[in-house]
Structure 1
Amino acid sequence: MKRRLAYVSALFALASIGSWQAWAQAASNTAEPTDPKATEQWEPVPKIVIPGKHGSAPPSDAIVLFDGHDISEWETSKDHSPARWKVHNGVVTVDKANGNIQTKQKFKNYQLHLEWLVPTNITGEGQKRGNSGVFLASTGPGDEGYEIQVLDSYKNKTYVNGQAASIYKQTPPLVNAMRPPGEWQTYDIVWTAPVFAADGTLKSPAFVTVFHNGVLMQNHTQLAGETFYIGKPKYKPYDTAPIKLQAHGDPSPSISFRNIWVRPLD
């Protein structure tokens, strides 16, 4: 019996030695390369995109949504009629009586730039002070979709997941980089759309990165779903959708927008 145990132990030892030798051989086969060319990638070559002449100008592959002259790229969200916000002096001002507007084109993943202005004669406080919003995917005629809040957050106290650059009613901004009324604000946004299976179930959530006046506000933040004023966010299946600007019904003077462009990333 002792001889048999010794024989079995010897077999296990030989097997272990063999496994170790096999591992050592595999490790030697994956040794670090000594030729720098081994880690060079030459294909595919990235396409050429000509940047704008200044920091906020649209690059060569951007779709210009508003250039200061007309809003022909936009329609009324409610009935798809031509957008009727007022264009003047290179800007477009929210017309609350005519409701939300959205892009005629639909998008999935993209980079968005827009600039917005809180007027110097702004009134009100909290959510009743220059309220608007950028809906990154407009999934319905009302306020359905995924909203980045637009609000005068300069010395204006409100709930933090409702101030400028928040994912409305979900995630507060990392900091407050608001300029005072009368100065232009900029948003630079990268939107990664949610993905749904054929049966409508969520395969991967939405993510967003937001810079406000060049300062990081949302760092690839995961969304819990669409924006709801009352109740928790939830997802509703969609593929592509317009970008929407909100005509909020607060009584303060309306804000304005300019220099809006988008780069599809699909």
Structure 2
Amino acid sequence: MPKTQQMNFFLSSALATTLLFGATALQAQTNMKASDTEYYSPVPPTLTIDHGIPSDAIVLFDGKDLSKWKSEKGKANWTVANNVLEVKPGAGAIETNEHFTDFQLHVEWKSPEVIKGEGQGRGNSGIFLQGHYEIQVLDNNNNPTYVNGGAGSLYKQRPPLAQVIAPDKWHVYDIIYKAPQFSKDGILTSKGTVTVLHNGVVVQNNTQIDGTTEYIGLPKQISHGPGPIILQDHGDLVQFRNIWLRKL
């Protein structure tokens, strides 16, 4: 058989096979019942919400004390008053006693009452995920700065998709974080990702994390396991309240 005829034969055979399987699949689809695509287990857990907090959440700060936190120097000693946690300048960062991997994190924060400074020098703090990756906290009310260092940014890596102002000065971050994965040899196999809602507005949408947060230089890939939530002391009287986390 000439090569041209062989080619036509093979193409015709392939087309016939495709049509046959397509017809078979269509027949199977036609014969399906609604129940064929339904399943009843495993059943998702049932959660209740109490004052906006899911029943499976770990409350990291309830307005009373810092029992879930420690500092670089030992005991966490930031100021707690009127159900609010306030940075104590010079005391250093505080971090959770417990370490986490993938999570949903809720944090409410407020810029200092007295406005002073500008750019990165006004109302600056930060929320570090697993101790390595910073979501920026900064007074963003008429306070220009570099865009990948503003409120809602993945600091020095990705700017927020929008700048969201809080009229009453209290901001809300809802953060969904998936940790990076490393091989046994410490090689990165999957980058971490973060989604951030700022006052209900998506400002980071499944954003890939390039590596550690660096003030000078490029992000670094450092192999690690579970890590803490860290709140930064940047010398400003930033306030926090209602901090809770759900493990994912």
Highest Rg: 1 or 2?
Answer: 1
Residue type at the aligned position of 1:42: Y
Instruction: Give SS of 1:25's match.
Output: helix
- The correspondence for 1:224, drawn from 210, 226, 236, is 210
Instruction: Give SS of 1:161's match.
Output: helix
Q: State the shift of 1:13 in Å.
A: 5.5
CA distance in 2, matches of 1:160, 1:210: 16
Instruction: Give SS of 1:22's match.
Output: helix
Divergent runs of 4+, >3 A: 8-21
Matches within 5 A, 1:34-45: 34-45=32-43
Unaligned runs of 5+ in 1: 139-144
| CA distance 1:88–1:12, shift in 2 (3 Å) | closer
Q: Cα RMSD between the aligned structures?
A: 1.8
Q: Partner residue of 2:129?
A: 136
Q: State the shift of 1:12 in Å.
A: 6.1
Structure 1 contact 101–244 (Cα < 8 Å) conserved: yes
- The correspondence for 1:66, drawn from 61, 70, 86, is 61
| CA distance 1:14–1:259, shift in 2 (3 Å) | same
Count of aligned pairs: 245
Residue type at the aligned position of 1:205: K
CA distance in 1, matches of 2:55, 2:227: 23
Deviations 1:6-54 (A, max 9, x none): 6x7766665554443332222222223442222223222111111234x
- Say whether residues 1:117 and 2:110 are aligned partners: yes
Unaligned runs of 5+ in 2: none
| CA distance 1:133–1:18, shift in 2 (3 Å) | same
- Say whether residues 1:184 and 2:170 are aligned partners: yes
Q: Partner residue of 2:155?
A: 168
| CA distance 1:9–1:263, shift in 2 (3 Å) | same
Structure 1 contact 164–178 (Cα < 8 Å) conserved: no
Q: Partner residue of 1:261?
A: 244
Residue type at the aligned position of 1:219: N
Instruction: Give SS of 2:15's match.
Output: helix
Instruction: Give SS of 1:171's match.
Output: coil
| CA distance 1:93–1:9, shift in 2 (3 Å) | closer
TM-score of the two chains, using structure 2 as the length reference:
0.92
Higher normalized strand content (fraction of residues): 2
Residue type at the aligned position of 1:89: N
- The correspondence for 1:94, drawn from 87, 91, 107, is 87
- The correspondence for 1:213, drawn from 190, 199, 205, is 199
Structure 1 contact 94–254 (Cα < 8 Å) conserved: yes
Deviations 1:229-248 (A, max 9, x none): 00011210011000000001
CA distance in 2, matches of 1:125, 1:10: 78
| CA distance 1:157–1:17, shift in 2 (3 Å) | closer
- Say whether residues 1:47 and 2:34 are aligned partners: no
TM-score of the two chains, using structure 1 as the length reference:
0.86
| CA distance 1:172–1:22, shift in 2 (3 Å) | same
